[in-house]
Amino acid sequence: MPTIVFASPKGGAGKSTSANLLATSLAHRGAAVTVIDADPNRPLAKWAKRAGRPENLTVIEQTKESSIIQAIEDAERQTPFVIVDLEGTASQMATFAVSRADLVVIPCKGSQLDAVEAAAAVVMVADCERMVQRPIPCAVLITQTSPAIQTKSLAAIEEQLTGRGVRLFGTRLHERDAFRAIFAFGGTLRSLTAAQARNLPAAIENADAFAAEVVKMLEAAPVQAQAVA
């Protein structure tokens, strides 16, 4: 069963938000999903305790480096999709989790500092590939962008990353009120009301496009592609 790990050496890049959006979009499609919240701040575990979590989405808490691989293996036996949200820092736990991944998503804001950290995460994935002696697909997800404006600095950062051989998601997760609202009110984008967040249809479309791209990457990956259909 596919395991998708969200990793970033830098906090504040939108890691927990993008993990939540992927998990809830997959759950809306009818897939059973287990989310492993390995962030000490517990953003997803706190969200899951609010009303509105889909019944086919389970969130478990995990903080021990020594048992993260066992937690992933247990979850893989329970649900078709496993999503791991790591702490926003480089750690041994990140290495262990990435070693079990079928896809690593590296969220990155459109800044030079974040791009440097994203490139470092790509190197970490490559190191894990050598350790486990198998390919571990990864891609950088640009987050918190404007849906209306393409800045020259962002274009330069994307060109810099692709020039270094880094794969980018075609979808960007924009800066949206609805993405913050799900943590404030609980539930999913589809359960929010217009009074709780603006422009919900655009937010849903953005999140679903990201989830569809993740599924397409998993289908193209050499490992466990048959579990994604």
Nearest to 203 by CA among 193, 213, 216, 214: 193
pLDDT at 121: 93
Residue 145 CB coordination number (10 Å): 16
Residues 6 or more apart in contact with residue 153 via CB below 8 angstroms: 110, 111, 112
Of the pLDDT bands very low, low, confident and very high (cuts 50, 70, 90), residue 211 is very high
- At 11 the pLDDT is 78
Q: Which two tokens stand for residue 157?
A: 């950062």
- pLDDT tens for residues 8-22? 877 788 999 999 999
pLDDT for position 82: 98
- What are the pLDDT digits (tens) for 166-184? 999 999 999 999 999 999 9
Q: What is the pLDDT, as a whole number, of residue 147?
A: 82
pLDDT of residue 227: 39
pLDDT for 74-130, tens place per residue? 999 999 999 999 987 768 899 999 999 999 999 999 888 888 889 999 999 999 999
| The pTM of the whole model exceeds 0.95 | no
Structure confidence at residue 62 (pLDDT): 84
